[in-house]
Every structure is written in structure tokens, then in C-alpha cells.
């Protein structure tokens, strides 16, 4: 049984990665329904949180059905991060996660996210202050290093464990790589197999099939897998991986009608949570993933991404659902 403090996550948990503009409550609800064992919010700016910025505060929304759920923060200033952790604790998540992995320029070049990988001593000090500031379990998500010459993740993970973090998730690329090339899990395995490590170690990067999940589980010995991009528009990935790990057989993939229903549910929850205008706008990035690999759907998908009328979008989805015989998987 993998545990983060007293939170039981199962024998080989599958985690939903925190993804900006993706891992919101509507999306998390779908992933929970389809087998995610632990989920994280979109990352929240510590500066925005302590200044009570509306967008940052809204990201604190978590719901009972999501548990266990972690709230993730990022920032470059140690005092601001400590204050943010204190604010987050009052909203009662199960976990506080620190983002030391975001490679995006506007984050990393300010010394936040993966930017702190250029200053490991500061990373350790910041983590220590956050651990001291909260009674909640603190976890970390990070990368192998800043670039090919600074892959210090084995030593860094050990230092972070020794000051009190209770799990670590590692993306198998450097900051310089961004999301390009193939994720290298060798060092993730080295972290897990370091005899001094006693906390759960989760691997992240390029897991897009049940076969790969099984291969990496066996090859690297990690405690679980964090899944990001493979879940966008395909929340079924969690249960598909679990079923394959348990039985060696594949679950039936969702049909067109089931995909449409998931898109409908996602849209309705998005509108309920964000309001109609923003809820419709932010769903547009998901449609191409929900209907990936389906032929003859291009014109209908175009309607979905160009319309701002909720009823028109729902009618289009219903048409696809009721006429699924007109479409097929390419």
C-alpha cells in the first residue's frame, strides 16, 4: 500500500498531473470518475494568493468527491510561498504540493517552477519553510535538472526528503528540454532505488498506454505514475491502465456516444463552475482530444470550437451522439 502520511493511495496509484488551464474541478471530476487515485489542482501563484487575486483564489476550489486532492503552488519568494501555504491550509486540502517543474519562460525565468533548479540550496530552504508552515503533508513535483549538465535530482530528492517532504513526482526531462524529445526515466529509477529514499517516488512523462505503464513500473520500480497530457480529452486512461496492470487485458475503449457524453458533462460542469462565457471558451481546447481519431467529424468539431451559444453546442453534441453510426474510428 502506497501512503502519503496516512493517506492510502492503493498498491500502485495513478496521479493526475497538475496542468494549467486543464486540471480544474470539472476535468478533475471526470478523471476521478475514471480511476485517478490522487489529483492536483492547477498550479497557483503564491504572489496572487497572498494578494487575494481572483483567479488564484478560485483555483482553491476543491470538493469532497475529489479527495484525496492536493493544491499546488509556485513562486520565487520564500516568504510569499510560506504565507501561501498558510492560506492553503485553511481551505483544507489533503496535501500541499510545490511546483519545481514548470518550464514555461514567464515562470522559470523569474526563478519559480523549474527556474529554482538553478539554485538547489534555495529550493531546499524554500521547501523547509513550507514544511514548517503547515501541518499538511508536503509533496514536490520537479524535473531532472535545469539542463543536461545539472541533473542533480537524485541528490536533491534525498535532501528534500530529509527536510520533511512526504512524496516526490519527477518529470523525466530537464527544463531546457521543455516537453520535447523522449522523457528519460533512468534517473527517476535511480531516485526510487536510492537505498536512503523512504518516501513514495512517482514517475511522470510520456505514459500514454497501459503497455508503457506496465513496462515502466517493472523497469524502474517506481511507486506510481503521474499522468498529464494523455488524460486530456481521455480521462478513461486511468481505468484502462489499472485494468491492464491487474489483468493483462484491455478494457473496451469508449465509443463515440460515450465520448460525447463525457464532453457534455465536462461542458456543463465547466459552465456551472466558471460561468457560460468562460466555461464555453475553455472547453474549446478539449474537443479535438475527445474526438481524436474519429472520421467525418471535422465539420461538427468546427461548430463546437467556433460557437459561443451553449444550446447550439449541446445540440451539435447531441447530433453526434444520436448519429454515431455516421462516424467511425479511422
Catalytic residues: 102
152: how many CB neighbours lie within 10 A of its CB?
A: 16
- The SS3 call for residue 58 is helix
- The SS3 call for residue 169 is strand
Whole-number Å distance between alpha carbons of 228 and 134: 27
Q: Residue 39 forms beta bridges with which residues? A: 16, 69
66: how many CB neighbours lie within 10 A of its CB?
A: 21
Cell numbers given for 50: 497572498
What is the distance, to the nearest Å, from the Cα of residue 129 to the centroid of all Cα atoms in its chain? 24
Check: CB of residue 175 under 8 Å from CB of residue 117.
yes
φ and ψ at 97, to 5 degrees?
-115, 140
Amino acid at each position: 500500500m502506497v501512503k502519503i502520511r496516512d493517506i492510502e493511495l492503493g498498491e500502485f496509484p495513478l496521479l493526475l498531473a497538475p496542468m494549467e488551464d486543464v486540471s480544474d474541478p470539472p476535468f478533475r471530476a471526470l478523471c476521478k470518475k475514471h480511476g485517478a487515485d490522487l489529483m492536483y489542482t492547477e498550479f497557483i501563484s503564491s504572489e496572487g494568493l497572498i494578494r487575494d487575486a481572483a483567479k488564484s483564489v478560485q483555483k482553491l476550489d476543491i470538493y469532497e468527491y475529489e479527495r484525496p486532492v492536493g493544491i499546488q503552488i509556485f513562486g520565487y519568494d520564500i516568504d510569499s510561498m510560506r504565507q501561501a501555504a498558510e492560506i492553503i491550509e485553511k481551505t483544507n486540502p489533503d496535501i500541499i504540493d510545490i511546483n519545481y517543474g514548470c518550464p514555461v519562460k514567464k515562470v522559470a525565468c523569474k526563478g519559480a517552477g523549474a527556474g529554482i533548479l538553478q539554485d538547489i540550496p534555495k529550493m531546499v530552504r524554500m521547501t523547509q519553510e513550507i514544511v514548517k508552515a503547515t501541518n499538511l503533508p508536503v509533496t514536490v513535483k520537479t524535473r531532472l535538472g535545469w539542463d543536461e549538465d545539472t541533473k542533480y535530482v537524485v541528490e536533491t530528492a534525498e535532501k528534500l526528503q530529509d527536510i520533511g517532504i512526504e512524496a516526490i513526482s519527477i518529470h523525466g526531462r530537464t527544463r531546457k528540454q521543455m516537453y520535447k524529445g523522449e522523457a528519460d526515466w533512468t534517473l527517476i529509477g535511480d531516485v526510487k532505488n536510492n537505498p536512503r529514499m523512504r518516501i513514495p517516488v512517482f514517475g511522470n512523462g510520456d505514459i500514454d498506454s497501459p503497455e508503457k505503464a506496465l513496462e515502466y513500473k517493472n523497469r524502474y520500480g517506481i511507486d506510481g505514475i503521474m499522468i498529464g497530457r494523455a488524460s486530456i480529452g481521455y480521462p478513461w486512461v486511468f481505468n484502462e491502465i489499472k485494468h491492464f496492470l491487474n489483468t493483462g487485458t484491455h478494457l473496451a475503449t469508449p465509443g463515440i456516444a460515450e465520448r460525447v457524453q463525457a464532453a457534455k458533462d465536462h461542458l456543463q460542469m465547466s459552465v456551472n463552475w466558471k460561468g457560460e462565457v468562460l466555461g464555453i471558451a475553455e472547453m474549446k481546447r478539449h474537443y479535438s482530444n475527445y474526438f481524436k481519431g474519429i472520421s467525418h467529424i471535422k465539420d461538427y468539431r468546427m461548430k463546437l470550437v467556433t460557437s459561443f451559444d451553449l444550446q447550439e453546442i449541446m445540440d451539435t453534441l447531441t447530433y453526434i451522439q444520436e448519429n454515431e453510426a455516421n462516424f467511425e474510428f479511422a
